[in-house]
Structure 1
Amino acid sequence: MSIFRFPPLVWIGIAILIISLGVRQSFGIFMMPISDHFGTGREFFSLAIALQNLLFGVYQPFVGMAADKWGAKRIISIGAVAYALGLYLTSIATLPSTLYFSLGALVGLGLSATSYVIILGSVAKVVPAQHAAKAFGLTTAAGSFGMFAVIPGAQWLLAEFNWQQALQVFALLCTLMIAFASFTRNTPSNSPQAQENNDDFTLKQALAEAFRHKGYWLIHAGFFVCGFHVMFIATHLPSYLADKHLSAQVAAMALAYVGIFNIFGSYFWGVMGDKFNKRHVMSALYLVRTIVIAGFVTLPITEGTASLFGAAIGFCWLGTVPLTSGLVRQIFGAKYLSTLYGLVFFTHQLGSFLGAWVGGRIYDHYGSYDPIWWSTVALAFIAALIHLPINDKPVVRPTPALA
């Protein structure tokens, strides 16, 4: 299937992801101005972002269940309101503790309702199984354009105005997601994708089936590592480069390179997941991460190596999303993908929580990011290994008559 023949819902989902993830990935460049404003160390902002990611994951299974039951339109609209409110309250905060509620809890809720789990769950219901990984890859890739587009914009807003006004602009931007959500529709009950699974198969049965599947837990473990990687890098790379006496513009461009090369990488890994065994492709992706991160912390840190790292890590940045969601869909079907992938994403966010918080904790304790960088190298190699034994064959369920 050509990408131009994908249903309109795929393109609507892409527009929502561009805003949701673009704003989210810009938070790293707010660390120093916000920390300086409140007179706190980096651990304070790191903990607020870590809480955001933890709650992002905690909310996700419940938000996924709600989307499976009531449809994505209502859930995305509620999430967009929470996202915008969280950013606005952060911009007018007078006490640093307010950020734990605004930037942490509210933005975490907004992200859980406007990002991959809900969007990919909707896409899975309108795209045939044999093209799912490609569709997921395209959605992830095009959604990643937001990172490339928004981060330079955030840097410009910080330079021309201040961090409070920058967040208020982002709050207004989030309201556009409500407009996009209004064009979404629930999947017709007579569509081939909606009838792919037994209509009598309940959510309780789906959860019990997944929890008994060893491969499902290995998928959880791999996505934990992904979360640890991406949130540590997104949150701490600007500060790490500043410690190496590189300008904020270099850090912003490095993150922008992550975004632009992630566009190509996400689609590439998604296409590879349709052509080859997804678990083998996933192992290859984590091996690439291992080499890229190890090379970055070994080589001298310059403007050139920072840009090269952004491009290289960007190529394998979110390629895990189409592969992981594709594996869950391949094994368990599309009917409860938002719920089952939502639980996997919760584990991802546990990794994100630790990546964001522990990075700041280790820096404040040791005055160096080196220990955490080498931890990411070891985790990447472990993740490459644990995907190999996954049994990725679709589960066999009894027909209603046999049941």
Structure 2
Amino acid sequence: MQNAPARSAKTILWVAIIGAAATSSLAMGIRQTYGLLLLPMSAEHAVAPWAFGLAVALHNLTWGLAQPVSGSMADKYGSGRVMAVGGVFYLIGCGLPAIFPTNAMVLLGIGLFSGFGVACAGTGLALAAIGRLAPPEKRGEYIGIASAGGSLGQAAMVPITFGAIGWLGSAGALAMLAVTALLIIPIARNIEWRPAPRVGAPAAGLMGLPGLAKRALADRDFALLTGGFFACGFQLAFLTTHLPSHIALCGLAPSLGMTALMLIGLFNIPGSWFCGWLSSRIKPETGLGWIYLVRTLAIAAFAVSTPTEWGTMVFAAVMGFVWLGTVPLTSAAIARRFGVGDLGALYGVCFFSHQIGGFLGAGAGALLLGVTGSYDAFWPVMIVVGLAASVLNWMTKPPGARPLPA
């Protein structure tokens, strides 16, 4: 009988991990497919490539603005309830451009509503809930498992959506994604549906978010961590949005873009688990610095080499292994410094920098394509930004859990 509470807590944790992986699979998998839709929406419905690229850029910015808000609400009221709302936002975000495939509806649906959807239902809230449920000595590893499971959707949704575009057209594929997003709602009930019991000060909540953000950013090491996260969003948003188009412009088969995105999702599964495991064994910022360096070297090699099918697949595999490994490491770094009481909100504050990078990466890529017809001038910028992120993370001091000053 003495072991019953322990067994119950362990069952709750593993149910939450499976639920977090499932909701992350759906929320992150849907947005992973947007790059596949850029050219078909243009060909079938005259949606301008600049408008679709700008919509994805706006999606990233909306996600970044909404993440601290959704995180603070999840810290106070429970992640599951906020994630269920995210499923509704995603339904609207993909449904509007499916029914009305115009520049304006793409900007409104994908740019705004799906940005709110992923802010509520994506990895940030799911992994914050796991961080609160997991024992401290295993926190990074369990976050890594949930993050790795969430990568399944990124791998699966890409070929499914690619097939749906061929069968249903781009608008039909968006309608399929909208209906799929509804699955997030029942799954979210298994992930911290009510706020977790707290020891010590209560969560800051929405009203306390501005003060919490100000105090966190005054911490030198948190500010460096946040600055490095900018590069993550910058590099990944550009590749998610524009890699399929870049491959097509190089004269390679359009299906290779789908294959590359699928490989990124597949290799992200072991990569996310490994980075979560690693976060319990080394200083998380050290691992982040190496991730940014590996990414940057891979980008540099891809940029200077002649585009080939095998070269693209190797590049996708390497990038996939370190694709979302930053998430468990960043979550672990924040939890080590400040505890888990406001983990959702603090991750959201840090993540806002990530999404400013995503907005600039996706948006600048779209503008560059419209002006020059290629992405050649963008690759050197990606390299410089990645190297800067490595340096910022290596400049941080060893973490130690401490409360934010009042």
- Say whether residues 1:289 and 2:295 are aligned partners: yes
CA separation in 2, counterparts of 1:238 and 1:111?
22
Answer yes or no: is the 8 Å Cα contact 1:227–1:348 preserved in 2.
yes
Shift in Å, 1:200: 5.8
Number of residue pairs aligned between Structure 1 and Structure 2: 391
CA separation in 1, counterparts of 2:202 and 2:185?
33
Q: 1:128 aligns with which of 130, 135, 147?
A: 135
One-letter code aligned to 1:7: W
One-letter code aligned to 1:148: A
Shift in Å, 1:202: 4.8
Post-superposition CA distance 1:234-254 (Å, at most 9, x none): 100000000111112111001
Q: Could you tell me which residue of structure 2 aligns to residue 13 of structure 1?
A: 20
Answer yes or no: is the 8 Å Cα contact 1:331–1:392 preserved in 2.
no
CA separation in 1, counterparts of 2:162 and 2:293?
32
Q: 1:308 aligns with which of 314, 321, 324?
A: 314
CA separation in 2, counterparts of 1:247 and 1:296?
17
Q: Using a 3 Å threshold, how does the CA distance of structure 1 residues 188 and 39 change in structure 2: closer, same or farther?
A: closer
Q: Using a 3 Å threshold, how does the CA distance of structure 1 residues 126 and 44 change in structure 2: closer, same or farther?
A: same
CA separation in 2, counterparts of 1:366 and 1:248?
21
Map 1:145-294; keep pairs closer than 5 Å.
145-184=152-191, 185-189=193-197, 194-195=198-199, 198-199=200-201, 202=204, 204=208, 206-294=212-300
Post-superposition CA distance 1:220-242 (Å, at most 9, x none): 11111000111100100000000
CA separation in 1, counterparts of 2:288 and 2:152?
22
Answer yes or no: is the 8 Å Cα contact 1:129–1:330 preserved in 2.
no
- Say whether residues 1:141 and 2:151 are aligned partners: no
Deviates more, 1:383-392 or 1:347-356: 383-392
Shift in Å, 1:274: 1.2
Shift in Å, 1:214: 0.7
Answer yes or no: is the 8 Å Cα contact 2:76–2:203 preserved in 1.
no
Q: Using a 3 Å threshold, how does the CA distance of structure 1 residues 383 and 212 change in structure 2: closer, same or farther?
A: same
| C-alpha RMSD over aligned residues | 1.9
CA separation in 2, counterparts of 1:323 and 1:394?
14
Q: Could you tell me which residue of structure 1 aligns to residue 346 of structure 2?
A: 340
Post-superposition CA distance 1:260-289 (Å, at most 9, x none): 001111111221121112111111111111
Q: Using a 3 Å threshold, how does the CA distance of structure 1 residues 153 and 94 change in structure 2: closer, same or farther?
A: closer
Shift in Å, 1:397: 4.7
SS in 1 for 2:103: coil
One-letter code aligned to 2:230: F
Q: Using a 3 Å threshold, how does the CA distance of structure 1 residues 396 and 237 change in structure 2: closer, same or farther?
A: closer
Map 1:33-182; keep pairs closer than 5 Å.
33-182=40-189
CA separation in 2, counterparts of 1:186 and 1:78?
14
Q: Using a 3 Å threshold, how does the CA distance of structure 1 residues 397 and 13 change in structure 2: closer, same or farther?
A: closer
One-letter code aligned to 1:335: G
Answer yes or no: is the 8 Å Cα contact 1:278–1:327 preserved in 2.
yes
Q: Which runs of 5+ in 1 are unaligned?
A: none
